[in-house]
Structure 1
Amino acid sequence: MPARRLPTWVWVSGLTAGGIVAVAVLAVQADKGPHPVATATRPSASASTGAEPRPTASKAPAAVPDGSGTGRRVVYSLGQKRVWLVDASDASRRTFAVWPGTVSPDPGSYTISQRTEATTGSDGVQIEHIMYFAAKSGLSIAFSNAVDGSSPPPASDVRTSGIRMGKADGSALWTFGSTGTTVTVVK
Protein backbone atom coordinates (compact mmCIF):
# COMPACT_ATOMS: atom_id res chain seq x y z
CA MET A 1 0.00 0.00 0.00
CA PRO A 2 1.48 3.42 -0.97
CA ALA A 3 2.22 6.09 1.69
CA ARG A 4 -0.33 8.86 2.09
CA ARG A 5 0.82 12.46 1.55
CA LEU A 6 -0.13 15.12 4.03
CA PRO A 7 -2.02 18.12 2.62
CA THR A 8 0.01 21.29 2.09
CA TRP A 9 -1.98 23.21 4.70
CA VAL A 10 -0.82 20.77 7.37
CA TRP A 11 2.83 21.46 6.53
CA VAL A 12 2.31 25.25 6.43
CA SER A 13 0.40 25.19 9.74
CA GLY A 14 3.09 23.07 11.39
CA LEU A 15 5.92 25.32 10.19
CA THR A 16 4.03 28.47 11.27
CA ALA A 17 3.35 27.05 14.74
CA GLY A 18 7.02 26.02 15.06
CA GLY A 19 8.15 29.52 14.06
CA ILE A 20 5.86 31.14 16.63
CA VAL A 21 7.17 28.83 19.36
CA ALA A 22 10.79 29.62 18.38
CA VAL A 23 10.15 33.40 18.48
CA ALA A 24 8.43 33.07 21.86
CA VAL A 25 11.37 31.10 23.30
CA LEU A 26 13.85 33.71 21.99
CA ALA A 27 11.74 36.56 23.41
CA VAL A 28 11.71 34.95 26.86
CA GLN A 29 15.49 34.45 26.71
CA ALA A 30 16.05 38.05 25.59
CA ASP A 31 13.86 39.35 28.40
CA LYS A 32 16.13 37.64 30.94
CA GLY A 33 19.26 39.38 29.62
CA PRO A 34 20.59 42.89 30.29
CA HIS A 35 18.52 45.80 28.99
CA PRO A 36 20.22 48.79 27.33
CA VAL A 37 19.50 52.23 28.71
CA ALA A 38 19.07 55.08 26.25
CA THR A 39 21.05 58.21 26.98
CA ALA A 40 20.65 61.61 25.41
CA THR A 41 23.63 63.00 23.56
CA ARG A 42 24.50 66.63 24.04
CA PRO A 43 26.98 68.81 22.20
CA SER A 44 30.29 69.01 24.00
CA ALA A 45 33.08 71.52 24.01
CA SER A 46 35.09 69.23 21.73
CA ALA A 47 32.45 69.72 19.03
CA SER A 48 33.17 73.44 18.90
CA THR A 49 36.28 75.55 19.23
CA GLY A 50 37.24 73.88 22.48
CA ALA A 51 36.92 77.12 24.45
CA GLU A 52 33.18 77.03 25.04
CA PRO A 53 31.61 75.28 28.02
CA ARG A 54 29.49 72.20 27.62
CA PRO A 55 25.75 73.02 27.49
CA THR A 56 23.93 72.05 30.65
CA ALA A 57 20.41 70.78 31.01
CA SER A 58 17.98 73.20 32.54
CA LYS A 59 14.67 72.49 34.20
CA ALA A 60 12.85 75.10 32.13
CA PRO A 61 13.31 74.93 28.36
CA ALA A 62 14.84 77.99 26.75
CA ALA A 63 12.21 80.47 25.59
CA VAL A 64 11.64 80.98 21.90
CA PRO A 65 13.66 84.09 20.94
CA ASP A 66 11.80 87.38 20.55
CA GLY A 67 11.50 88.55 16.96
CA SER A 68 11.40 85.02 15.57
CA GLY A 69 8.04 85.45 13.87
CA THR A 70 4.69 83.82 14.50
CA GLY A 71 2.96 80.61 13.52
CA ARG A 72 4.35 77.16 12.81
CA ARG A 73 8.10 77.42 12.20
CA VAL A 74 11.61 76.23 12.96
CA VAL A 75 13.66 78.84 14.85
CA TYR A 76 17.45 78.70 14.76
CA SER A 77 19.48 80.96 17.08
CA LEU A 78 23.03 81.56 15.91
CA GLY A 79 24.19 82.85 19.31
CA GLN A 80 22.56 80.16 21.40
CA LYS A 81 23.35 77.35 18.93
CA ARG A 82 19.81 76.11 19.51
CA VAL A 83 16.74 75.15 17.48
CA TRP A 84 13.06 75.38 18.47
CA LEU A 85 10.16 73.59 16.80
CA VAL A 86 7.24 76.00 17.22
CA ASP A 87 3.62 75.00 16.50
CA ALA A 88 0.84 77.10 14.94
CA SER A 89 -0.18 78.44 18.39
CA ASP A 90 3.38 79.79 18.91
CA ALA A 91 4.14 77.16 21.58
CA SER A 92 7.57 75.54 21.55
CA ARG A 93 7.13 71.80 21.07
CA ARG A 94 10.83 70.92 21.31
CA THR A 95 14.14 72.70 21.66
CA PHE A 96 17.66 71.34 21.42
CA ALA A 97 21.30 72.38 21.06
CA VAL A 98 23.04 72.05 17.69
CA TRP A 99 26.58 72.01 16.30
CA PRO A 100 26.82 74.63 13.54
CA GLY A 101 29.29 74.47 10.67
CA THR A 102 31.84 77.18 9.95
CA VAL A 103 29.53 79.02 7.52
CA SER A 104 26.25 80.23 9.05
CA PRO A 105 23.14 81.66 7.40
CA ASP A 106 22.37 85.35 7.82
CA PRO A 107 19.51 86.21 10.18
CA GLY A 108 16.21 86.21 8.32
CA SER A 109 13.29 84.11 7.18
CA TYR A 110 13.75 81.10 4.90
CA THR A 111 11.78 78.02 3.89
CA ILE A 112 12.83 74.40 3.71
CA SER A 113 13.43 73.99 0.00
CA GLN A 114 14.60 70.39 -0.21
CA ARG A 115 14.71 67.27 1.95
CA THR A 116 17.15 64.42 1.42
CA GLU A 117 16.84 61.27 3.49
CA ALA A 118 20.56 60.35 3.61
CA THR A 119 23.94 61.18 2.03
CA THR A 120 27.58 61.77 2.95
CA GLY A 121 28.40 65.15 4.50
CA SER A 122 31.26 67.37 3.31
CA ASP A 123 33.24 66.05 6.31
CA GLY A 124 32.88 62.45 5.06
CA VAL A 125 30.35 61.46 7.76
CA GLN A 126 27.18 59.55 6.82
CA ILE A 127 24.28 61.90 7.59
CA GLU A 128 20.49 61.67 7.44
CA HIS A 129 17.41 63.88 7.69
CA ILE A 130 18.98 66.65 5.60
CA MET A 131 16.77 69.72 5.27
CA TYR A 132 18.11 72.51 3.04
CA PHE A 133 16.90 76.05 3.71
CA ALA A 134 19.57 78.62 2.74
CA ALA A 135 22.77 79.22 0.80
CA LYS A 136 25.78 81.39 1.57
CA SER A 137 29.25 81.73 0.08
CA GLY A 138 28.46 79.05 -2.48
CA LEU A 139 27.45 76.49 0.15
CA SER A 140 24.01 75.04 0.82
CA ILE A 141 22.99 75.34 4.46
CA ALA A 142 21.01 72.47 5.95
CA PHE A 143 20.04 70.77 9.19
CA SER A 144 21.12 67.12 9.56
CA ASN A 145 22.26 64.48 11.99
CA ALA A 146 25.00 61.87 11.77
CA VAL A 147 23.62 58.38 11.16
CA ASP A 148 25.72 57.07 14.07
CA GLY A 149 24.59 59.93 16.34
CA SER A 150 28.07 61.43 16.71
CA SER A 151 28.91 65.12 16.84
CA PRO A 152 31.12 66.54 14.11
CA PRO A 153 34.79 67.03 14.90
CA PRO A 154 36.00 70.62 15.26
CA ALA A 155 36.47 72.15 11.82
CA SER A 156 40.06 72.68 10.81
CA ASP A 157 40.47 74.75 7.66
CA VAL A 158 37.39 73.30 5.95
CA ARG A 159 34.28 75.36 5.25
CA THR A 160 31.20 73.46 6.33
CA SER A 161 27.60 74.62 6.32
CA GLY A 162 25.75 71.75 7.95
CA ILE A 163 23.95 72.35 11.23
CA ARG A 164 24.19 69.02 13.06
CA MET A 165 22.09 67.77 15.92
CA GLY A 166 21.61 64.60 17.92
CA LYS A 167 19.90 61.64 16.25
CA ALA A 168 16.59 61.93 18.17
CA ASP A 169 16.47 65.68 17.51
CA GLY A 170 17.16 65.08 13.81
CA SER A 171 14.25 62.64 13.66
CA ALA A 172 11.96 65.12 15.40
CA LEU A 173 12.95 67.93 13.03
CA TRP A 174 12.50 65.63 10.02
CA THR A 175 8.96 64.81 11.17
CA PHE A 176 8.14 68.45 11.95
CA GLY A 177 9.64 70.24 8.94
CA SER A 178 8.22 69.48 5.54
CA THR A 179 9.19 71.27 2.33
CA GLY A 180 7.90 74.83 2.61
CA THR A 181 8.14 75.02 6.41
CA THR A 182 9.41 78.42 7.57
CA VAL A 183 12.88 78.57 9.14
CA THR A 184 13.62 81.77 11.06
CA VAL A 185 17.27 82.48 11.81
CA VAL A 186 17.96 84.94 14.64
CA LYS A 187 21.21 86.26 16.17
Structure 2
Amino acid sequence: MPVPARRPPSWAWVTGLTAAALVLVAVLAVKAENGPQPTASASPKPSASASPKPSAKPDESAPVAVPDGSGTGRRIVYSLGQRRVWLVDASDASRRTFKVWPGTVGPAPGNYTVGTRREAATGSDGVEIENIVYFAVASGVNVAFSNALDGSSPPPPAAGTTTGGVRMKAADGDAVWKFGTAGTTVAVVK
Protein backbone atom coordinates (compact mmCIF):
# COMPACT_ATOMS: atom_id res chain seq x y z
CA MET A 1 0.00 0.00 0.00
CA PRO A 2 1.47 3.40 -1.04
CA VAL A 3 2.25 5.96 1.68
CA PRO A 4 0.64 9.38 1.07
CA ALA A 5 3.12 12.27 0.57
CA ARG A 6 3.52 14.56 3.54
CA ARG A 7 2.49 18.12 2.94
CA PRO A 8 4.44 20.96 4.55
CA PRO A 9 2.61 22.71 7.38
CA SER A 10 0.66 25.87 6.51
CA TRP A 11 3.08 28.10 8.42
CA ALA A 12 5.87 26.98 6.07
CA TRP A 13 3.81 28.02 3.03
CA VAL A 14 3.01 31.42 4.54
CA THR A 15 6.64 32.01 5.49
CA GLY A 16 7.87 31.04 2.01
CA LEU A 17 5.34 33.24 0.22
CA THR A 18 6.09 36.20 2.52
CA ALA A 19 9.84 35.86 1.90
CA ALA A 20 9.27 35.70 -1.87
CA ALA A 21 7.07 38.80 -1.75
CA LEU A 22 9.70 40.75 0.22
CA VAL A 23 12.40 39.82 -2.29
CA LEU A 24 10.16 40.91 -5.17
CA VAL A 25 9.40 44.26 -3.48
CA ALA A 26 13.13 44.86 -2.87
CA VAL A 27 13.99 44.12 -6.51
CA LEU A 28 11.25 46.46 -7.76
CA ALA A 29 12.37 49.22 -5.36
CA VAL A 30 15.95 49.03 -6.69
CA LYS A 31 14.71 49.17 -10.29
CA ALA A 32 12.47 52.16 -9.52
CA GLU A 33 15.32 54.02 -7.81
CA ASN A 34 17.54 53.60 -10.88
CA GLY A 35 14.82 54.59 -13.36
CA PRO A 36 13.68 58.04 -14.49
CA GLN A 37 12.54 60.36 -11.72
CA PRO A 38 9.62 62.82 -11.96
CA THR A 39 10.32 66.53 -12.18
CA ALA A 40 8.11 69.57 -11.91
CA SER A 41 6.64 70.43 -15.29
CA ALA A 42 5.31 73.92 -14.68
CA SER A 43 7.70 76.82 -15.27
CA PRO A 44 6.97 80.01 -13.34
CA LYS A 45 7.06 83.37 -15.04
CA PRO A 46 10.38 85.05 -14.22
CA SER A 47 10.20 87.97 -11.83
CA ALA A 48 12.31 89.43 -9.09
CA SER A 49 9.84 88.08 -6.53
CA ALA A 50 9.10 84.66 -8.01
CA SER A 51 8.60 81.86 -5.47
CA PRO A 52 9.56 78.70 -7.37
CA LYS A 53 8.95 75.24 -5.93
CA PRO A 54 12.04 73.06 -6.42
CA SER A 55 11.57 69.75 -8.19
CA ALA A 56 12.94 66.54 -6.76
CA LYS A 57 15.61 66.23 -9.45
CA PRO A 58 16.53 68.39 -12.46
CA ASP A 59 15.90 66.85 -15.89
CA GLU A 60 19.04 66.38 -17.98
CA SER A 61 17.44 64.30 -20.73
CA ALA A 62 18.24 66.34 -23.86
CA PRO A 63 20.74 69.00 -24.95
CA VAL A 64 19.31 72.49 -25.08
CA ALA A 65 20.58 75.32 -27.31
CA VAL A 66 22.00 78.49 -25.80
CA PRO A 67 19.19 81.11 -25.81
CA ASP A 68 19.21 83.75 -28.53
CA GLY A 69 20.02 87.23 -27.27
CA SER A 70 22.37 85.98 -24.55
CA GLY A 71 25.38 87.80 -25.99
CA THR A 72 28.61 86.52 -27.48
CA GLY A 73 31.94 85.28 -26.21
CA ARG A 74 32.87 83.47 -23.03
CA ARG A 75 30.03 83.73 -20.52
CA ILE A 76 27.63 82.02 -18.16
CA VAL A 77 24.04 82.15 -19.40
CA TYR A 78 21.22 81.79 -16.86
CA SER A 79 17.65 81.40 -18.16
CA LEU A 80 15.04 82.33 -15.56
CA GLY A 81 12.17 80.68 -17.45
CA GLN A 82 14.00 77.46 -18.30
CA ARG A 83 15.75 77.27 -14.91
CA ARG A 84 18.89 76.35 -16.79
CA VAL A 85 22.53 77.47 -16.97
CA TRP A 86 24.97 77.22 -19.89
CA LEU A 87 28.74 77.59 -19.73
CA VAL A 88 29.66 79.11 -23.10
CA ASP A 89 33.25 79.30 -24.35
CA ALA A 90 34.90 82.10 -26.36
CA SER A 91 33.79 80.51 -29.67
CA ASP A 92 30.12 80.68 -28.53
CA ALA A 93 29.94 76.90 -28.10
CA SER A 94 28.12 75.53 -25.07
CA ARG A 95 30.58 73.51 -22.98
CA ARG A 96 27.97 72.42 -20.43
CA THR A 97 24.29 72.98 -19.65
CA PHE A 98 22.19 71.87 -16.70
CA LYS A 99 18.99 72.56 -14.79
CA VAL A 100 19.07 74.58 -11.55
CA TRP A 101 16.84 75.34 -8.58
CA PRO A 102 16.44 79.14 -8.30
CA GLY A 103 15.93 80.97 -5.02
CA THR A 104 12.89 83.09 -4.23
CA VAL A 105 14.60 86.25 -5.51
CA GLY A 106 16.11 86.43 -8.98
CA PRO A 107 17.98 89.08 -10.96
CA ALA A 108 16.33 91.00 -13.77
CA PRO A 109 17.39 89.99 -17.29
CA GLY A 110 20.66 91.67 -18.25
CA ASN A 111 24.42 91.29 -18.05
CA TYR A 112 26.24 90.91 -14.75
CA THR A 113 29.82 90.15 -13.73
CA VAL A 114 31.11 87.52 -11.33
CA GLY A 115 32.50 89.37 -8.33
CA THR A 116 33.06 87.66 -5.02
CA ARG A 117 33.52 83.89 -4.75
CA ARG A 118 33.50 81.75 -1.60
CA GLU A 119 34.50 78.12 -1.32
CA ALA A 120 31.93 77.27 1.39
CA ALA A 121 29.36 78.84 3.72
CA THR A 122 25.92 78.29 5.21
CA GLY A 123 23.09 79.34 2.88
CA SER A 124 20.23 81.57 4.04
CA ASP A 125 18.15 78.38 4.24
CA GLY A 126 20.58 76.87 6.77
CA VAL A 127 22.07 74.37 4.30
CA GLU A 128 25.87 73.97 4.06
CA ILE A 129 26.85 75.07 0.53
CA GLU A 130 30.01 75.28 -1.58
CA ASN A 131 31.27 76.71 -4.90
CA ILE A 132 29.53 80.05 -4.26
CA VAL A 133 29.83 82.41 -7.25
CA TYR A 134 28.16 85.80 -6.59
CA PHE A 135 27.03 87.80 -9.61
CA ALA A 136 24.06 90.06 -8.75
CA VAL A 137 21.96 91.74 -6.08
CA ALA A 138 18.15 91.69 -6.37
CA SER A 139 15.77 93.25 -3.84
CA GLY A 140 18.70 93.67 -1.46
CA VAL A 141 19.57 89.96 -1.64
CA ASN A 142 22.85 88.60 -3.03
CA VAL A 143 22.31 86.22 -5.95
CA ALA A 144 24.86 83.45 -6.42
CA PHE A 145 25.33 80.04 -7.99
CA SER A 146 26.08 77.29 -5.46
CA ASN A 147 25.51 73.66 -4.57
CA ALA A 148 24.69 71.91 -1.31
CA LEU A 149 27.62 70.00 0.20
CA ASP A 150 25.45 66.89 0.42
CA GLY A 151 24.28 67.28 -3.20
CA SER A 152 20.62 67.71 -2.26
CA SER A 153 18.07 70.05 -3.80
CA PRO A 154 17.15 73.01 -1.61
CA PRO A 155 14.29 72.58 0.83
CA PRO A 156 11.14 74.63 0.17
CA PRO A 157 11.76 78.06 1.74
CA ALA A 158 9.84 79.04 4.85
CA ALA A 159 7.00 81.52 4.26
CA GLY A 160 8.37 85.03 3.85
CA THR A 161 11.97 83.86 3.43
CA THR A 162 14.03 85.44 0.67
CA THR A 163 16.80 83.37 -0.87
CA GLY A 164 19.08 84.34 -3.72
CA GLY A 165 20.90 81.05 -4.16
CA VAL A 166 20.72 79.42 -7.59
CA ARG A 167 21.39 75.82 -6.55
CA MET A 168 22.65 72.99 -8.72
CA LYS A 169 24.04 69.48 -8.47
CA ALA A 170 27.53 69.16 -6.97
CA ALA A 171 29.22 68.30 -10.31
CA ASP A 172 27.60 71.34 -11.93
CA GLY A 173 28.67 73.51 -8.99
CA ASP A 174 32.26 72.37 -9.50
CA ALA A 175 32.02 73.25 -13.21
CA VAL A 176 30.64 76.75 -12.48
CA TRP A 177 33.36 77.30 -9.85
CA LYS A 178 36.10 76.46 -12.36
CA PHE A 179 34.48 78.40 -15.22
CA GLY A 180 33.10 81.43 -13.34
CA THR A 181 36.24 83.23 -12.24
CA ALA A 182 36.09 86.86 -11.12
CA GLY A 183 35.17 89.11 -14.04
CA THR A 184 33.27 86.42 -16.00
CA THR A 185 30.09 87.73 -17.66
CA VAL A 186 26.78 86.28 -16.51
CA ALA A 187 23.98 86.87 -19.04
CA VAL A 188 20.55 86.52 -17.42
CA VAL A 189 17.72 85.95 -19.92
CA LYS A 190 14.00 85.38 -19.63
What displacement does 1:150 show? 0.5
Counterpart position of 1:175 = 178
Please tell me whether the aligned partners of residues 43 and 99 of structure 1 are also in contact (alpha carbons under 8 angstroms). Answer: no
Give the structure-2-normalised TM-score. 0.70
Question: Aligned residues: percent identity?
Answer: 66
Q: 1:165 aligns with which of 165, 168, 173?
A: 168
CA distance in 2, matches of 1:88, 1:44: 32
Gaps of 5+ in 1: 1-38
Structure 1 residues 108 and 114: CA distance shift in structure 2, 3 A: same
Structure 1 residues 100 and 177: CA distance shift in structure 2, 3 A: same
Counterpart position of 1:89 = 91
Show CA shifts across 1:107-130 (max 9, x none).
000000110000000000000000
CA distance in 2, matches of 1:91, 1:167: 23
CA distance in 1, matches of 2:38, 2:80: 15
What displacement does 1:161 show? 0.6
Letter in 1 for 2:116: Q
Counterpart position of 1:35 = none
Structure 1 residues 149 and 43: CA distance shift in structure 2, 3 A: farther
Counterpart position of 1:134 = 136
- Report SS of the residue matched to 2:126: coil
Please tell me whether the aligned partners of residues 38 and 56 of structure 2 are also in contact (alpha carbons under 8 angstroms). Answer: no
Structure 1 residue ranges (4+ consecutive) displaced by more than 4 angstroms after TM superposition: 52-55
Do residues 79 (structure 1) and 81 (structure 2) align?
A: yes
CA distance in 1, matches of 2:53, 2:59: 17
Q: 2:115 aligns with which of 98, 113, 116?
A: 113
- Report SS of the residue matched to 1:150: coil
